[in-house]
Amino acid sequence: MTAAHCVFSKDEFALTAKVTLNDVYLSKYDDQEQEFRSHAMAISKQFLNGVSEANNDVGIVFLPKIAAVCDSATSAQIAKLTSTPSISFVRSFVLDSVDSEYFQIETPITVSQFQLENSVCYIAGWGKTENKTASYSDNLRQMMVKLSIRRVGKRKYLMAKGVVGSSRACMGDSGSPVYCFIEGKRVLVGTIAHIGSFVKMSQQDPSDHLHFCRDFEYTFIADWRESSERVVEILEKYGELYQLNEGQNICFGPGKF
């Protein structure tokens, strides 16, 4: 899952998407790093039709084969998806190994606004940093953020703001995960869509990424509670929805929750 605009721009899809898993340092090969090249991509129909608000800015890159990530050294950093009105994750447990009896526990429907606004949350990515060359970060960086929800007219926005005042998301962070620790568990709450401000418009040239990014204190998020509906539509269209629940069971099954 990523931002739609990362794979679709100017009415065209990217020819190839490079997906690297278990990566920490961009400039060198990391232990258990896996790299895939894919030509199979899909985005939400709303974004395709020009409605590019944050919750529609979601895309899926289909890998050519199943990736082994849940047993890797970095698997503890994988964030769990919560159930939403669009999809419900159910886990099965063996109650009696002799008779093979099972019972099911359903995860909570969704995280609440109170939980989002009062949890420790982070953005992780390799976006541009204020180093001497203003280049992308070579190592994975995390920014602690405070989440808030703001209504503007009929629209509702989930936004993140750096706890450290000078911290910003920037070019290269789009599609990056936003996660919170809720009830002791790392939970994915969305992906980065874009940056913005309710105070001013930037006077900087957008191509001057660092100065442009400094003017925008908020990161707008594709809220999983809303964007999951778009993801489900994409996966159902291609007959791959079962893999979403299967992946959750592999990574967060008995003993891994």
Tokens of 141: 């960086």
pLDDT > 90 in the chain, percent: 25
* pLDDT for the residue numbered 218: 79
* pLDDT for the residue numbered 22: 80
Domains of the chain, by residue range, sit at 113-225
pLDDT at 103 over 80: no
147-194 pLDDT tens trace: 988 887 778 889 888 877 656 677 677 888 999 998 888 899 999 888
Q: What angle do CA 44, 109, 114 make, to 5 degrees?
A: 95
**What mean pLDDT do residues 124-147 have?**
73
Q: Which residues contact 65 (CB under 8 A, 6 or more apart)?
A: 36
* Model confidence, pTM: 0.80
Which residue is it, tokens 């529609």? 56
What phi and psi, each to the nearest 5 degrees, are found at residue 184?
80, 5
* pLDDT for the residue numbered 58: 94
Whether the Cβ atoms of residue 193 and residue 220 lie closer than 8 Å to each other = yes
* pLDDT for the residue numbered 159: 87
Q: Is the dihedral of CA 191, 21, 122, 113 positive or negative?
A: positive
Which residue is it, tokens 């989930």? 158
DSSP H helices in the chain: 4-7, 45-48, 113-117, 209-214, 224-237, 241-252
Whether the Cβ atoms of residue 87 and residue 253 lie closer than 8 Å to each other = no
**CA–CA gap between residue 70 and residue 65 (Å, rounded):** 15
What is the b/e burial string over 63-93, where b = at least 16 CB atoms within 10 angstroms of the residue's CB? eeeeeebeebebeeebbbbbbbebbebebee
186-200 pLDDT tens trace: 899 999 888 766 555
Q: Does domain 113-225 have CATH number 2.40.10.10?
A: yes
6-26 pLDDT tens trace: 899 888 999 999 888 887 777
Coil, helix or strand at residue 138: coil
Tokens of 32: 């258990």
